[in-house]
Structure 1
Amino acid sequence: MPPLARTHLSATLWYHPHPHGEMEEQVLKGFAGLVLVDDEDSAATGLPHEYGVDDVPLVLQHKLRDRDGRIIRTEGDNALGTVGRTLLADGLAGAEFAVTTTEVRLRLLNGSAARFLDLRLADDRPFLLVGTDGGLLESPVELTRLPLSPGERAEVVVRFAAGDRVMRSCGR
């Protein structure tokens, strides 16, 4: 893969607390989110940019729930933290998004405490990686799968055709 250089200040960032010994519990309770930074030059890239239509932020988290559906934390589950069994997208299990454009930019965050994600589309269609933790790439990289560690961010562009129904696939 060619060297990836940042050419813009644009980036998908995230915020979360850092109190000693309490960060995981606070993030599990929802105290974390995205900060989308765009600069003047990023509009000239041609990337989708209409928030919520073709530019969609997604916080992906595996959470562990008790029998009543409450999110819980377990001590000693893993060196990194609790390994959940339920994948949430923006806080929802089984979330869906109706695509209305031919290209969609997904700004992804693996907000899981300890789960490493291996993302791909169920039909194995390729997508373009256009940004990482460090911001936009100099040029897109075509992928069919994207591994994301806890706290890692990526921006991808997925192409769609009329009538497409594509699901994500998330391996461990």
Structure 2
Amino acid sequence: MSFSRRQFLQASGLAVCLGSLSSSVRAGSVSDRKLPIPPLLESRNGQPLFVTLQKVHWAFDGTQKTEVWGINGSMPGPTIKVKSGDDVKLIYSNRLNEPVSMTVSGLLVPGTQIGGAARMMSPGAYWSPVLPIRQKAATCWYHANTPFKMAPHVYNGLVGMWIVEDEESKSLPLPKHYGVNDFPIILQDKRLDNFGTPQYDKEAATEGFYGDTLLVNGCEDPYIEVSRGWIRLRLVNASNARRYELSANDGRSLYLIASDQGLLTSPVELKSIPMAPGERREILIDLSEGEEVTITAGQSAGFMDRLRGIFEPSNLLRNTNVLTIKPTGLMSLVTDKVPQQLVVDDTQITTSIQPRTIQLQNSPPGINNARWELSRIDLVGKQNGWERWLVTVETPQPFHIEGARF
């Protein structure tokens, strides 16, 4: 039997691909990269917080550094921690080569101060808002909100976690030692080329861009070592379009203690937790007993899926491991229990509830048949009033309201 030169090259190329696939499957089966913990940036004694948007060099695979966008030299940006009651001064600096606007999702502050499209920063520009923090504890996130470029700007790396703390949350028996038993977990899926550089397809992004590599704080399949006991994960889905279903690989329970709006009244025991883009969740995991556990985000691509991905783009993740948690030390003779009560819901509806219908449309994109326009106000509500919104969509997508509790 004889081979033509073309057949030989095709067979050789396929063999190389199969070999690399086998190696990557083996390499991805054991977590050997420690979870990067973004630096903690805290507001103290009225001192301003500097937030610099800039290009940084980052190694998604731990070895090959590539140029991406970041904040204060980090990708994702530092975790900003503020206290309820403080007036926090930010000093944004745009050292990138294109205009950017930023916002903080989850903060209950006036729109003129939170940022967004009305506060575009040209290259080299500064913006210094003062944010009055007057809300209960919550896990928020700050990110690019540039008109018509929010998706690629967040994908490029302009994202970070923002934590609001109050006296009530400080008094609760919850893990709160940052980077020790209280961890920021920012999820993003990216598509990396052979040099580890993120690729973004603008055409595909019109329907929502999906990567094939799941990154946690800019790292694929990381691990952490923790002392035995309870740990707290603050989760942010900063992906462009991907929805995750998080669970423990050994079936243990996850205790949901907070959502986008802050702490729940009491923990909710769950086996899996869904997360749409932009959503935040806080969970507790009991590591008092047993061996290591891996938090996963569903089924990863199989061997044949990965093989097909060589010849055509795939939306499947190569590896769906979010985080492997390795407990250290002796098992405790006394196991702490999750608190039964967290916070009291003191919400009181004292006025009549006004109904409102919100329809999110794709073709053309808009809300209630109107395309976004900065100079136009579409909805007017009564201050201190209550409304019930019925939100409908044409295709699945997340939805939230900036600067309001809902």
Q: Distance in 2 between matches of 1:40 and 1:167?
A: 33
* Counterpart contact for 1:54–1:101, Cα < 8 Å: no
Q: Distance in 2 between matches of 1:79 and 1:142?
A: 37
* Counterpart contact for 1:55–1:106, Cα < 8 Å: yes
Structure 1 residue 126 corresponds to structure 2 residue 253: yes
The equivalent position to 2:263 in structure 1, one of 126, 136, 146, is 136
**TM-score (normalised: structure 1):** 0.90
Q: Distance in 2 between matches of 1:152 and 1:12?
A: 10
**Secondary structure class of the residue paired with 1:93:** coil
Structure 1 residue 20 corresponds to structure 2 residue 147: yes
Which one is further off, 17-26 or 89-98? 17-26
Note the C-alpha offset of 1:161.
2.7
The letter for the 2-side match of 1:149 is: A
* Counterpart contact for 2:252–2:271, Cα < 8 Å: yes
* Counterpart contact for 2:146–2:153, Cα < 8 Å: no
Structure 1 residue 160 corresponds to structure 2 residue 287: yes
Q: Tell me what 1:171 maps to.
A: 298
**Secondary structure class of the residue paired with 2:209:** coil
Which one is further off, 60-69 or 10-19? 60-69
* Counterpart contact for 1:61–1:110, Cα < 8 Å: yes
RMSD: 1.6
**Secondary structure class of the residue paired with 2:204:** coil
* Counterpart contact for 2:230–2:286, Cα < 8 Å: yes
Q: Distance in 1 between matches of 2:173 and 2:207?
A: 38
Note the C-alpha offset of 1:164.
2.0
Q: Distance in 1 between matches of 2:156 and 2:282?
A: 25
**Secondary structure class of the residue paired with 1:99:** strand
* Counterpart contact for 1:64–1:82, Cα < 8 Å: no
Question: CA offsets, 1:97-155, max 9 Å, x none?
Answer: 11213100100001101110110011110011000000000000000100000010000
Note the C-alpha offset of 1:162.
5.0
**Secondary structure class of the residue paired with 2:227:** coil
Q: Tell me what 1:3 maps to.
A: none
What are the residue-to-residue correspondences of 1:68-79 with 2, within 5 Å?
A: 68-77=195-204, 79=206
Question: CA offsets, 1:35-65, max 9 Å, x none?
Answer: 0111011022211111111111110111111
* Counterpart contact for 2:253–2:270, Cα < 8 Å: yes
Note the C-alpha offset of 1:76.
3.2
| Higher RCO, 1 vs 2 (CA within 8 Å, ≥6 residues apart) | 1
**TM-score (normalised: structure 2):** 0.39
Q: Distance in 2 between matches of 1:102 and 1:115?
A: 31
Note the C-alpha offset of 1:27.
1.1
**Secondary structure class of the residue paired with 2:189:** strand
Structure 1 residue 105 corresponds to structure 2 residue 202: no
Structure 1 residue 60 corresponds to structure 2 residue 172: no
Q: Tell me what 1:9 maps to.
A: 136
Q: Distance in 2 between matches of 1:42 and 1:56?
A: 16
Identity of aligned residues (%): 38
Which one is further off, 79-88 or 54-63? 79-88
Q: Distance in 2 between matches of 1:21 and 1:123?
A: 42
Bigger radius of gyration: 2
Provide structure 1 residue ranges, at least 5 long, that are not aligned to the other structure: 1-7
Provide structure 2 residue ranges, at least 5 long, that are not aligned to the other structure: 1-134, 300-406
**Secondary structure class of the residue paired with 1:42:** helix
Q: Tell me what 1:145 maps to.
A: 272
The letter for the 1-side match of 2:140 is: L
CA change 1:87–1:75 in 2 (3 A) is same
Q: Distance in 1 between matches of 2:224 and 2:289?
A: 14
